[in-house]
Amino acid sequence: MIDLVASGVVEIPLVGTPLESGKTPFYLGTPFALPEFVVGPENHLVAAVVSSVLDSASQSYSPLVVCGPTGSGKTHLVSGLFHAWKNAYRRRPALFVTASDFAREFREAIETKMEDQFHAPYARAQLLVLDNLEQLAGRHPAQQALTAMIDRQASSGGWVVVTGRRPPSQVPGLLAGLQARLTAGLLLRLALPGVETRAAILNRVAELRDLNVAATVLQTLAEGLVAPVPELIGALVQLEAESRLEGLSPTVAAAKRLLTARRDARQPTLATVAKTTAKHYGVSVAQLRSASRQRALVSARNMAMYLARSTTQNSLNRIGAYFGNRDHTTVSHGCRKVEESMESDPAVRKTEEELRAKLLLR
């Protein structure tokens, strides 16, 4: 089922047909989407968990909550998981539904007094996939119905898979009972693809589109574009189109020009960098700009200065002035500390990649 494609990178085939509702799943509905989910070291648990669900090896993972930033591939992954299940277990019912559709259909069932008809297919399902948990926030009747379904699946040995941008405990507007059920299972955090994974994805897209693109060009894009998969694919498609217009094959120089143009077009301000970083670390912008030397604040401030240096055209002096009238040597020292931490601590590297993506995908 799972194929090794590069050092530390694997491909999980996504098989199946469009959803029974007539909707086309994400990965089949876009012209440049991949028929596989490409997993790198940053998401090393994904392959094992997917195999466990499809092998029905351990129902103790249910409910399975897949969370991660926009573009990390949550819907792509669970759509493929759903269809792989349908393909492997034709006599074991499965349902895939977005949280907004679930809430709307439940409300309509109550209004039309057809609750039994609403619950019937869910009662039969041995796999329930609910996409985008945040859409249930504040919709308490639908949350209560989902909570009851999770309990029923637990007693019958079925699976519940849920996606969301954040862990259930961090989603406002969720009932305590639903949060408790979801946090009792397995939380699988998806990170944005790292360099190795981005290179493997771009290589696969080039193969699917029969593009004659040198490995050095793909590597240049992979190293220079810290972004979700859709943007990676979009960059390659744009590079291909621009090169074709010039009657040339894509070159490293052309890839670098494309990266520069994209970077310049969405360069964040110092205020945006500070606000985004402060929110991630749970501090205020005023604290980031203060004279405080508390360890947590220093780490957050160093990250903000590092991101300001690498995503904007501001000088070290200007960055220092913004972050509390610090001189350029302080900024440089803080940036070096972040670079050293990223080398030794995968969590810091992951934080930097997620924040960079947020800043460059506003």
* Alpha carbon separation from 178 to 3, 116, 138, 204, 238 (Å, rounded): 36, 21, 12, 39, 43
Tokens 């989902």 -> residue: 146
Cis peptide leading into residue 13 (ω within 30°): no
31: confidence class by pLDDT, cuts 50, 70, 90: very low
Give the fold, CATH level 3, of 197-265. Answer: Helicase, Ruva Protein; domain 3 (1.10.8)
| pLDDT tens-digit series, residues 106-134 | 999 999 999 999 999 999 999 999 999 99
Q: 3-189: which CATH topology?
A: Rossmann fold (3.40.50)
Instruction: Name which residue leads in pLDDT, 44 or 285.
Output: 285
* Cα dist from 265 to 132, 190, 228, whole Å: 30, 27, 17
> Which residues partner with 22 through β-bridges?
none
Per-domain residue ranges of the chain: 3-189, 197-265, 270-360
Residues 296-353 have pLDDT tens digits of 999 999 999 999 998 888 899 999 999 999 999 999 999 999 999 988 888 888 889 8
What confidence tens digit (pLDDT) does each residue in 330-339 have? 999 999 999 9
For residues 41-45, give the mean pLDDT. 79
Grade residue 73 by pLDDT with cuts at 50, 70 and 90. Answer: confident
Q: How confident is the model at residue 85 (pLDDT cuts 50, 70, 90)?
A: confident
Where b means 16+ CB within 10 Å and e means fewer, 226-257 reads bbbbbbbbebbeebbeebeeeeeebbeebbee
Rounded CA gap, 226 and 247, in Å? 28
φ and ψ of 269, to 5 deg: -90, 165
Q: What is the mean pLDDT of the chain?
A: 84
pLDDT bin (cut points 50, 70, 90) of residue 1 is: very low
Overall size of the chain counted in residues: 362
Residue type, 348: V
- Collapse the DSSP code of 186 into the 3-class scheme (helix H, G, I; strand E, B; otherwise coil) and give the result: strand
CATH class of 270-360: mainly alpha
Residue 84 reports pLDDT greater than 80: yes
Q: Compute the distance between CA of residue 30 and CA of residue 147 in angstroms, rounded to an integer.
A: 33
Angle, helices 115-124 vs 99-111, to 10°: value is: 140
